[in-house]
């Protein structure tokens, strides 16, 4: 039996989403066509858009459907940057946190390298928190040059939840648009687009029980964006391409259901997570938990996120040993050709590279049970001992 503890990578589809998607897959129809089949497809898309909007505190016209989180992040960051610079050539600077997902981080790097953008990276504190004061200080270096502020809602590695509404308010004091990547947050903690004050918000389906390959950028009607793909002019002319009707329908079902049962599910996951973290800390071996850690907390840390540091171990050795023992998890950081790199998130939080290499990310989701926690707690001690010997063997 396999214990799947990598829900932050992708989580199983909800049965209701599978049912909606498979039913729709059998139906022909391009939502842009004018005949009956096209109109029926259009209707499915628009109903889904309305349900998505309602569940996330947005208006239907604010939902720009995309192929997923990366595309939505790229559209938000590159699209806003290009529009702001076109309106005022002095606005070339992006303020962002140094612990963003690569979909934001590398998009900004691209703009810096190829388009003449400037960037001010704001470092989080030791728990992964980006403070209002640090964002304010970054803007105040030269307020007239800022094109955009972008800070993620919740971190994909350590699970820290940012004070998004406060950060958006700081950006707005300087009349700068604010974007947040809420890929890890939507469906897991309360996310209300309108209340957050953000101008742009990224969500994706497969992190909350929907299918892979579909997501959305929530964009206020007054958000000015330059499109990043060109073609048929779908989605407010911002995102061309034939709409994936079955995936969009399933996306809406998944968002709706995960938001509906959020408070109960959140409590359930917090209980599992707390037992997992407490047990891991109690194993000895000097295991530490990163990020904000307080039992019962679902406000400052994602309910399903347990991120551990195991001293004296290489994360990839632990990963192999746990995989062989039927426990699937992640080091949490990006890979280069399959090689786990020291996490930029942990480095940004001020951890030394040697410590960051022993990171282990265990993430729980809607299919997680007590048995999964038992499995990982049982598998950890022999894996840690073996991984330590292997670490000693190669250094």
What distances in angstroms separate CA 11 from CA 7, 158, 368, 385, one per listed residue?
4, 17, 10, 30
Task: Please choose, out of 74-82, 186-194, 347-355, 386-394, the segment that lies near other proteins by the rule CB under 8 A.
Answer: 386-394
Binding mask 1-40 for other proteins (x = CB under 8 A): ----------------------------------------
Out of 89, 282, 284, 338, which residue is the one contacting other proteins (CB under 8 A)? 338
335 is catalytic: yes
Counting contacts by CB under 8 A, is residue 339 touching other proteins? Answer: yes
Residues 273-332, interacting with other proteins (CB under 8 A): 316-317, 319-321, 323-324
Counting contacts by CB under 8 A, is residue 59 touching other proteins? Answer: no
292 near 388, Cβ under 8 Å? no
Task: Please choose, out of 18-26, 117-125, 205-213, 336-344, the segment that lies near other proteins by the rule CB under 8 A.
Answer: 336-344
Could you tell me the maximum CA-CA distance found in the chain, to the nearest angstrom? 68
Counting contacts by CB under 8 A, is residue 392 touching other proteins? Answer: yes
The CB-of-372 to other proteins minimum distance in angstroms stands at 20
Residues 167-206, interacting with other proteins (CB under 8 A): none
Pairing of strands 288-289, 305-309: antiparallel
* Per-residue tokens: 98: 């140094």
The CB-of-129 to other proteins minimum distance in angstroms stands at 31
Helical H segments across the chain, by residue range: 15-25, 36-56, 69-87, 102-115, 132-140, 164-173, 193-196, 245-260, 262-281, 315-324, 344-348, 353-356, 370-394
What distances in angstroms separate CA 279 from CA 29, 57, 136, 378, one per listed residue?
52, 37, 39, 10
Task: Please choose, out of 54-62, 84-92, 151-159, 383-391, the segment that lies near other proteins by the rule CB under 8 A.
Answer: 383-391
Cα separation, 244 vs 242, whole angstroms: 7
The CB-of-336 to other proteins minimum distance in angstroms stands at 7
The CB-of-316 to other proteins minimum distance in angstroms stands at 7
Cα separation, 224 vs 58, whole angstroms: 17
Number of residues that bind other proteins (CB under 8 A): 20
Out of 264, 337, 347, 351, which residue is the one contacting other proteins (CB under 8 A)? 337
The CB-of-270 to other proteins minimum distance in angstroms stands at 32
Q: Which residues pair with 94 in a beta bridge?
A: 119, 148
Question: Tokens 């070339």 correspond to what residue?
Answer: 92
Question: Tokens 């632990």 correspond to what residue?
Answer: 318
Task: Please choose, out of 19-27, 144-152, 178-186, 385-393, the segment that lies near other proteins by the rule CB under 8 A.
Answer: 385-393
Half-sphere exposure for 284 (CA within 13 Å, toward CB): 4
User: 57 vs 311, which CB is nearer to other proteins?
Assistant: 311
Question: Tokens 């469906």 correspond to what residue?
Answer: 187
**Known catalytic residues?**
335
**What does the binding site for other proteins look like in residue numbers (CB under 8 A)?**
316-317, 319-321, 323-324, 335-340, 386-387, 389-390, 392-394
């Amino acid at each position: 039996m396999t214990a799947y503890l990598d829900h932050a990578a992708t989580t199983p589809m909800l049965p209701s989403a599978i049912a909606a998607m498979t039913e729709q897959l059998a139906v022909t129809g391009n939502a842009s066509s004018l005949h009956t089949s096209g109109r029926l497809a259009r209707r499915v898309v628009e109903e889904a858009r309305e349900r998505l909007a309602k569940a996330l505190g947005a208006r239907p016209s604010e939902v720009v459907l995309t192929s997923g989180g990366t595309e939505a992040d790229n559209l938000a960051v590159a699209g806003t940057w290009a529009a702001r610079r076109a309106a005022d050539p002095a606005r070339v600077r992006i303020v962002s946190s140094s612990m963003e997902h690569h979909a934001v981080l590398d998009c900004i790097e691209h703009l810096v390298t190829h388009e003449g953008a400037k960037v001010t990276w704001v470092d989080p504190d030791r728990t992964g928190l980006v403070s209002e004061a640090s964002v304010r200080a970054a803007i105040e270096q030269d307020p007239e040059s800022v094109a955009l502020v972008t800070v993620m809602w919740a971190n994909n590695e350590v699970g820290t939840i940012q004070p998004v509404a406060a950060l958006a308010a700081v950006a707005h004091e300087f009349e700068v648009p604010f974007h947040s990547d809420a890929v890890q947050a939507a469906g897991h903690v309360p996310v209300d687009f309108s209340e957050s004050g953000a101008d742009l918000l990224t969500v994706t389906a497969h992190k909350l029980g929907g299918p892979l390959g579909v997501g959305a950028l929530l964009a206020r009607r007054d958000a000015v964006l330059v499109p990043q793909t060109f073609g048929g002019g779908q989605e407010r002319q911002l995102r061309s391409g034939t709409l994936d009707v079955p995936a969009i329908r399933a996306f809406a079902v998944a968002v709706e259901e995960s938001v509906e049962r959020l408070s109960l599910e959140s409590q359930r996951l917090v209980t599992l997570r707390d037992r997992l973290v407490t047990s891991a800390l109690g194993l000895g071996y000097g295991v530490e938990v990163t990020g904000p850690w307080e039992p019962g907390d679902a406000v400052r840390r994602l309910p399903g996120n347990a991120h551990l540091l195991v001293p004296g171990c290489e994360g990839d050795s632990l990963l192999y040993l746990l995989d062989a023992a039927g426990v699937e998890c992640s080091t949490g950081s990006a890979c280069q050709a399959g090689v786990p790199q020291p996490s930029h998130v942990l480095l940004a939080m001020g951890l030394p590279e040697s410590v960051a290499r022993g990171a282990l990310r265990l993430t729980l989701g809607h299919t997680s049970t007590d048995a999964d926690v038992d499995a990982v707690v049982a598998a950890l001690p022999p894996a840690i001992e073996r991984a330590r010997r292997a670490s000693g063997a190669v250094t």
